[in-house]
Structure 1
Amino acid sequence: MKREPPLREEHTPIAARCDGAPVPPGASVIVFGADGQARRPAAQGGKLAAAGKGETAWWFQPGPHAVGLVPFAAAPEIGLRLAFVVDLPDPRLVRQRFDLFLFSEVAGQGASLGLADLAGRIETALRAALDQGTLELPPCASLDEWNAFRGGLDELLYMRFGVTVDDCVPVELDDVDFAAVLRRRAAPMPAPPLPEPVSPAPWLAAPAPAAKLDDAAALRRLFLELPDASRALRLLPAPAFAARQAHLRQLALAALDVNTMPALAWLAPGQARAADEQRRLAQASAAAVQALDELWAALAQMQVQTGTGGDDLDRILANLACHLAARRGHAAEERREPAL
């Protein structure tokens, strides 16, 4: 493993909204409709982006881009230098995966995507896959183990973000402050905040704006990405037809549940939810998004290892259904042991 200088990502955006603004040279343009459908017009660097009524235009730099990742939080001195590009349009897909990522996760939160932000998302997805066991990177990995990791990483990043990995090499980072790492590990955990008292008149309580924003972003991702996850699953080889049909049925029911999800702020017409209940429902929608991320990772693993991932898919879809039921406000049924 060679020693590298500090890996620092540039903070300049690699994608940004460009309604009525000139497109940077070498950039590609994506035009999103109000329904989330995307199209990629011909390259028009230096010209104004042409967006119709109700449409929004974004530009992005295809790359190549280079970022530094730390796959294990407990070993910050070991890193990966990753080079990737945004993939060309695939005519087999209804919507390109990078277009879906940009519209689902970025367009609803801001007007640009920086390289450091994208690197942080990739690093989070990589660490989650390593924690869940869908990717394995043992210490002193052999060539076969490294190739297996590379294949899984390539498919994970394409399935999750729509980017194609050009190169990935392990590096040893020089800019790690080990003293700060030890201080953070030795610092006591902060005490959890005390819950706020429930208002005696919930209909007089104002909706909690922070939870509402988080909940709206989570439901937006679920609404946009579940149909595409179902299409991706349908394209994978099916070792058992009945099991595949059951998984597709569960995804369809989950998408229907999201489409008919009740509002967070209001319990009934003219009756607002209590703030603590809003936080609880927002936590359920955030947990559903975590299950969605696990679903994309499982689909990537099934693409690499044909015939595997069925048990993980059962668990993920069951967790997704449970979290969506909790977001709807339905309490989980208590498990009852059979009586003799």
Structure 2
Amino acid sequence: MLELFRRMAGAPAFEAVGLGEQVVARPIASGCTLPPGGVGVVVAASGHTRRVTAGGRLNLADGERAWCFHSGPYGCELLPFAAAPEIGLRVHFAVDSIDPRVAQQRFDLFLASEADGELTLPDLAARIETALQRELAQGNLALPPCTTLDEWNAFRGGFNQLLYTRFGVTVDDCVPVDLRGTRDYAQALLARAVADPVPRGPAFVAPAKHDVPSATAADDARALRRLFLELPCIMCGLRQAALPQGQGLFRQQQALLQRLDLACLAAATMPALALAAPGQPLAPAVQARRIGYSLRAAGALDEAWALLARLEQAEDEGLDGLFDEADRIVANLEQALGRRKAVDDEEAA
């Protein structure tokens, strides 16, 4: 009995300050009690997750990690166009409640695969902004000048589905806002010049973000973890998408699933970054190249999630183009995974 009281007295306390305001999720130790309004997400070493309701006590097994998150709501201001910092969107969103139709909640998967310590609201808002800017730049979402009501409703539908599919959050409200009085243009131009010091010209092609030489082995490990955990979920999402009409599209869907299955196998059997073979270290230049290909593969994951969001809203007549887009994304993924395994330039070619 005395030992029981000693364990209760020595239970660690969870610091919940800021949770639900500027902090979306925070790591929590075993033995802590979840605060009111907090939800626990326990992540096993295999990536499987389970939730613990508010007020519950966490008991973690070996190899398990846990986060405590608050569902919100949260508010942030996003820049849909990087070149127009005066145009903004004021967004209010909340972490989605449990969906009984799925085995793993999307926000739980996001924490398991992408969270590295505390997840703050500015960090999550930056990820959302990046996903939004990518979709607008690729033409998958449209927000033209003098947007009509129908165009705005179409944008809202695509934006809502993108955030739900990519991050597991639900948009409560989204309104355009003028940010001219809150943005320092000089500071924005200076930050852009520091990030991209080479002057742009008609023939200049900016280097891919995935080829940045400052990427480290930790970036490679995070990218491979994302591939290992998220590729099976993307396969499930594609399999559960609207069944295409006609034998041609059906066969294309089956071929994509087979290729994604092989990509899952490639991600699960990826060689160590620093080894060319057992006991044979790999040159630093080749390691840097491998890291770049890991990040490219992770970038293909982001595009795949956005494609799944569009598939959820697609009509039968629009499936042809979406499956062609899926073929391009899977081809990029296959190339990046194949080159990540390569040891020399001939194998990578």
TM interval, short-chain normalised? 0.7 to 0.9
Give 3-state SS (helix, strand or coil) of 2:25's partner.
strand
Map of 2:127 onto structure 1? 121
Q: CA deviation at 1:76?
A: 0.4
Matched with 2:41 is 30
- Partner in structure 1 of residue 310 of structure 2: 301
Does residue 213 of structure 1 match 2:213?
Answer: no
Aligned partner letter, 2:254? Q
Separation in structure 1 between the aligned mates of residue 178 and residue 198 of structure 2, nearest angstrom: 35
Which position in structure 1 is the counterpart of 2:340?
A: 327
TM-score (norm 1): 0.84
Residues 41 and 149 from structure 1, CA distance in 2 versus in 1: closer, same or farther, beyond 3 angstroms?
Answer: same
Q: Which residue of 1 aligns with 2:327?
A: 314
Secondary structure in structure 2 of the residue aligned to 1:254: helix
Change (3 A) 1:188 1:127: closer
Q: Is the deviation greater in 171-180 or in 62-71? A: 171-180
SS of the residue aligned with 2:112?
Answer: helix
The alpha-carbon distance between structure 1 residues 186 and 326, as it changes in their structure 2 partners (threshold 3 A), is closer
Q: Look up the match of 2:237.
A: 232
What is the rounded CA distance, in whole Å, between the counterparts of 2:301 and 2:63 in structure 1?
28
DSSP-derived class of the 1:171 partner: strand
Cα deviation, residue 191, structure 1: 6.3
Task: Tell me which moved more, 27-36 or 66-75.
Answer: 27-36
Cα 1:332/1:137, change in 2 over 3 Å: farther
> Following the alignment from structure 2 to structure 1, what is the Cα–Cα distance between the partners of residues 57 and 348?
59
Are the equivalent residues in 2 in contact too, given 1:211–1:278 (CA < 8 A)? no
Aligned to 1:132: 138
Task: Compare 326-335 and 315-324 and name the one that shifted more.
Answer: 326-335
Unaligned regions of 5+ residues in structure 1, if any? 1-9, 193-207, 336-340
Out of 272, 283, 308, the position equivalent to 2:292 is 283
Letter of the structure 1 residue corresponding to residue 128 of structure 2: I
Instruction: Give the direction of change, closer, same or farther, for the CA distance of 1:188–1:294 in structure 2 (3 Å limit).
Output: closer
Residue number among 151, 161, 178 corresponding to 2:185 in the alignment: 178
Given the superposition, is the C-alpha separation of residues 183 and 59 from structure 1 closer, same or farther in structure 2, using an over 3 Å criterion?
closer
Which structure carries more relative contact order (alpha carbon 8 Å, separation 6+)? 1
Match of 2:94 in 1: 85
SS at match of 1:169: strand
Counterparts of 1:48 and 1:95, CA distance in 2: 21
Return closer, same or farther for 1:187/1:122 CA change in 2, 3 Å cut-off.
Answer: closer
Give yes or no for contact 1:50–1:57 (8 Å, CA) kept in 2.
no
RMSD of aligned Cα (Å) = 2.5
Within 2, Cα distance between the matches of 1:57 and 1:188?
A: 35
Residues 178, 249 of structure 1: CA spacing in aligned structure 2 closer, same or farther, 3 A cutoff?
Answer: same
* Counterpart Cα distance in 2 of 1:189 and 1:127: 18
Deviations 1:119-152 (A, max 9, x none): 0111111111111222111111111111111010
Which letter maps to 2:187?
A
> CA offsets per residue over residues 172-204 of structure 1, 9 Å max, x none?
112111233445567795369xxxxxxxxxxxx
1:300 counterpart SS class: helix
Distance 1:56 1:214 in 2: 19
Following the alignment from structure 2 to structure 1, what is the Cα–Cα distance between the partners of residues 260 and 68?
A: 32
User: What is the match of residue 201 of structure 1?
Assistant: none
- Aligned partner of 2:225: which letter? R
Number of matched residues? Answer: 306
1:74-119 alpha-carbon deviations (Å, 9 max, x no partner): 110111111111111111111110000001000xx22x11011100
Which amino acid letter does the alignment assign opposite residue 241 of structure 2?
Answer: L
Letter aligned with residue 144 of structure 1: D
Instruction: Report the identity percentage.
Output: 51
Q: Which residue of 1 aligns with 2:174?
A: 168
Question: Given the alignment of the two structures, is residue 269 of structure 1 paired with residue 261 of structure 2, yes or no?
Answer: no
CA distance in structure 2 between the aligned counterparts of 1:295 and 1:13, rounded to whole angstroms: 28
Residues 74 and 92 of structure 1: CA distance in aligned 2, closer, same or farther (over 3 Å): same
* 3-state SS, counterpart of residue 326 of structure 1: helix
8 Å Cα contact 2:89-2:175 kept in structure 1 = yes
Shift of 1:41: 2.5
**CA distance change for structure 1 residues 70 and 210 in 2, over 3 Å: closer, same or farther?**
closer
- Contact kept, 8 Å, 1:322 with 1:332, in 2: the verdict is no
Provide closer, same or farther for how the CA distance between residues 215 and 11 of structure 1 changes in structure 2, counting only shifts above 3 A.
Answer: farther
By percentage of residues, which structure has more helix? 2
